Amino acid sequence: MSKLEENIAKADGYLARFRKTGVLNHIDGEAVPAADGAVFESISPIDLKPLAKIAHGKAADVDRAAKASKAAFREWSSVSGSERRRILHAIADAIVARSEEIALVECVDTGQPHRFMAQAALRGAENFRFFADRAPEARDGKALRTVGQINLTGRAPIGPVGVITPWNVPFMLSTWKIAPALAAGCTVVHKPAEFSPVTARLLVEIAESAGLPKGVWNLVNGLGEDAGKALTEHPDIKAIGFVGESRTGAMILRQGAETLKRVHFELGGKNPMIVFADADLERAADAAIFMIYSNNGERCTSSSRLLVEKQIYQRFTEMVAQKAKRIKIGHPLDPDTVIGPLIHPLHEKKVLSYIDLGRSEGAKIAAGGEKVAGPGGGCYVSPTLFVNANNRMRIAQEEIFGPVLTAIPFEHEAEALALANDVQYGLAGYLWTSDVMRALRFSEQLEAGMVWVNSENVRHLPAPFGGVKGSGIGRDGGDWSFDFYMETKNVAFATAPRPVSKLAH
């Protein structure tokens, strides 16, 4: 039996229970169908065949879940930090123990290749460990002194929070949002993306089996316009942690206005990778390939605009094109596969329409550019490189969220900076140069929440993660996550009996 056949058999085994019972919601510690019994069907992008029936939650289900999370908040928020740390580490241990199952199920649900999802499952456990270790100090604050007064600051969890996640790397992203919320002492209602709901169910089960009390973590599946909207409007939900498209973020702001929701948004990107002639071109080419084609290009921090100094443009884009042509497209459960099928036929249609658009805008295809007949006949699109493009083209301005790279030449540093910043987004930037002063100067002026210099995206969990402009509001990571999930309170004590102004005698 090949490794692929073995993985298919194992994935079938893990999915059998969902084929039989469907994917249920999880409210107050119970696996429950939608209140009105409705379901929607989820398909696998590998063969477009039905994967499972998913509980189709709506406002009534969100209301139950929000009330359960409100009821659980009083107890969970008063659990000691060291106990929260112990439970979160137990969740991490349980994720590791079931990481094979998580990775295989995620691959079939999303089309993401196993080589990346195996790592993403373990990253999920690391997210829990990282925030677990910070739980005991999450409430600590500062002592701010002035003459005759000492101010003591402290933090308290904000309350029940809603977490709304996208379909691209659903398991890892859910842990990234939910682990800090739990570490802070918040309770959670999670609404996962309708295209890839299965591992969110595994995650809540894992958390409760590891000792998380009932009602602390609730799961409501459903569509954005009903379950998602109801969550953002619910008065018991104090904040919304959202990862998804920029225009959905704008909708959530409007929906949450009435109840004054605090929001944290991680949105889209059109991230530039800027390559100067003095860069290590071989490493830069590998990084360009990795940052646009890993995770099927369905990655918010993908380097989808390649800005290359004119004197090396021809040579460098040829290097990238040659590498792109050698990438293995295949079944996501094949350990050798680098690119699997895109999430859904609707998304495949969108990506292919951008490839047509790029051609009609006058850009030239140097690699890929077509649908591929991959195993299972699903949503396979070849890794695509556009050359002879300019920054005004829509393929250079809009987020395609697939394996499509647009390469644009620049003459000098000032032009590179202007092109890099001339976009509505500002999530990440990747700068390649051996000139240290230029790297410092350029990275300071680049309009992005995160810049990597001479590196692909390598995440350090204590560092802030998030975007500027249309790419987001707020930061995740380290203490920044607690700033979102907690309220800061200041208590001022007089340390000397200073005279109080008398307004009346």
State in angstroms the smallest separation of the CB of 308 from ligand NAD: 23
Residue at shortest CB range from ligand NAD: 224
Decide if 77 contacts 185 (C-beta within 8 A). Answer: yes
Give the binding range for ligand NAD (CB under 6 A) out of 113-121, 217-225, 367-375, 431-439. 217-225
Instruction: Please state the three-class secondary structure of 332-363 as a single string.
Output: CCCCCCCECCCCCHHHHHHHHHHHHHHHHHCC
Of the residues 101, 126, 266, 399, only one is catalytic, namely 266
269 binds ligand NAD (CB under 6 A): yes
109 binds ligand NAD (CB under 6 A): no
**x-or-dash pattern for ligand NAD, window 89-108, by CB under 6 A?**
--------------------
Q: Does 208 qualify as catalytic in the annotation?
A: no
C-alpha pair distances (Å), 476 with each of 224, 242, 463, 484, 489: 23, 11, 8, 8, 21
Q: Does 266 qualify as catalytic in the annotation?
A: yes
Strand-pair partners of 432: 275
191 binds ligand NAD (CB under 6 A): yes
127 binds ligand NAD (CB under 6 A): no
Give the binding range for ligand NAD (CB under 6 A) out of 128-136, 144-152, 238-246, 438-446. 238-246
243 binds ligand NAD (CB under 6 A): yes
- Answer positive or negative: Cα dihedral of 242, 244, 250, 251: negative
C-alpha pair distances (Å), 329 with each of 311, 359, 368: 32, 23, 11
300 binds ligand NAD (CB under 6 A): yes
What's the rounded Cα separation, in Å, for the pair 161 and 410? 45
Strand-pair partners of 451: 429
Name residue 31's amino acid: A
4 or 243, CB closer to ligand NAD? 243
248 binds ligand NAD (CB under 6 A): yes
Query: Which of 228, 383, 429, 470 is in the footprint of ligand NAD by CB under 6 A?
Result: 228
C-alpha pair distances (Å), 490 with each of 79, 88, 474, 498: 22, 28, 22, 20
187 binds ligand NAD (CB under 6 A): no
State in angstroms the smallest separation of the CB of 266 from ligand NAD: 3
Residue 225, Cβ neighbours under 10 Å: how many? 10
* Residue written as token pair 């509001």: 473
Catalytic site residues? 266, 300
Q: Which residues bind ligand NAD (CB under 6 A)?
A: 164-168, 173, 191, 193-194, 223-225, 228-229, 232, 243-245, 248, 251-252, 255, 266-269, 300, 399, 401, 427, 467, 472
